[in-house]
């Protein structure tokens, strides 16, 4: 029994060590992805507005600017690990909205073809921001630094 307890304790320690690097890796990769997608909308606002109009999104010009701004700013903050849980909320909303507009066929076919949901681009972005919302950005982040410096909790 002592061996199992020690083995399980070691397994937990390794998991805790890897957790911060895992959260850092997904924040960097997907934060940069959100940033680039938002920036591309803002750089080609006419194309984004036309696409939003085609999807039937109301106030397409405003929506394209707003979504591009949210993706760009919040993606950059996610990349840095700054306000991570807070900025996850608008990113979750934007990503779910993308499913219900640009990827609605996947939503409609969810019961008959569940693989359609996971094969869509928003899936990985949504899983990422949900992960950060639930687990936080990890200690290797600006949030982690601020937490240790001002709150001394060490758990972000």
Q: Tens-of-pLDDT digits for all 156 residues of the chain? A: 788 889 999 999 999 889 999 999 999 999 999 999 999 999 999 999 999 999 999 999 999 999 999 999 999 999 999 999 999 999 999 999 999 998 888 888 777 888 888 888 899 999 999 999 999 999 999 999 999 898 887 677
Indicate if 36 and 72 belong to the same structural domain.
yes
R_g of the chain, CA atoms, integer Å = 19
- Tell which phi-psi region holds residue 136, choosing left (phi > 0), alpha (psi between -120 and 50) or beta: left
Report pTM: 0.88
Last residue of a domain, one of 44, 63, 80: 80
Where do runs of H (alpha helix) occur along 55-141?
A: 60-80, 84-101, 104-108, 115-118, 121-135
* Structural element, H or E, at residue 31: helix 2-43
Q: Is residue 90 part of a domain?
A: no
Residue 14 lies in a domain: no
Q: For residue 36, give its domain range.
A: 29-80
């Amino acid at each position: 029994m002592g061996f199992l307890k020690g083995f399980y304790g070691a397994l937990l320690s390794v998991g805790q060590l890897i957790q911060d690097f895992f959260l850092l890796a997904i924040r960097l990769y997907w934060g940069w992805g959100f940033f680039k997608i938002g920036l591309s909308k803002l750089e080609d606002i006419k194309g984004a507005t036309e696409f939003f109009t085609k999807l039937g999104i109301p106030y397409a010009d405003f929506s394209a600017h707003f979504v591009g701004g949210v993706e760009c700013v919040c993606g950059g903050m996610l990349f840095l690990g700054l306000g991570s849980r807070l900025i996850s909320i608008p990113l979750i909303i934007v990503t779910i909205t993308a499913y219900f507009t640009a990827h609605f066929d996947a939503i409609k076919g969810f019961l008959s073809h569940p693989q359609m949901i996971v094969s869509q681009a928003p899936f990985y972005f949504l899983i990422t921001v949900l992960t950060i919302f639930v687990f936080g950005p990890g200690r290797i982040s600006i949030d982690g630094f601020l937490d240790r410096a001002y709150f001394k909790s060490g758990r972000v």
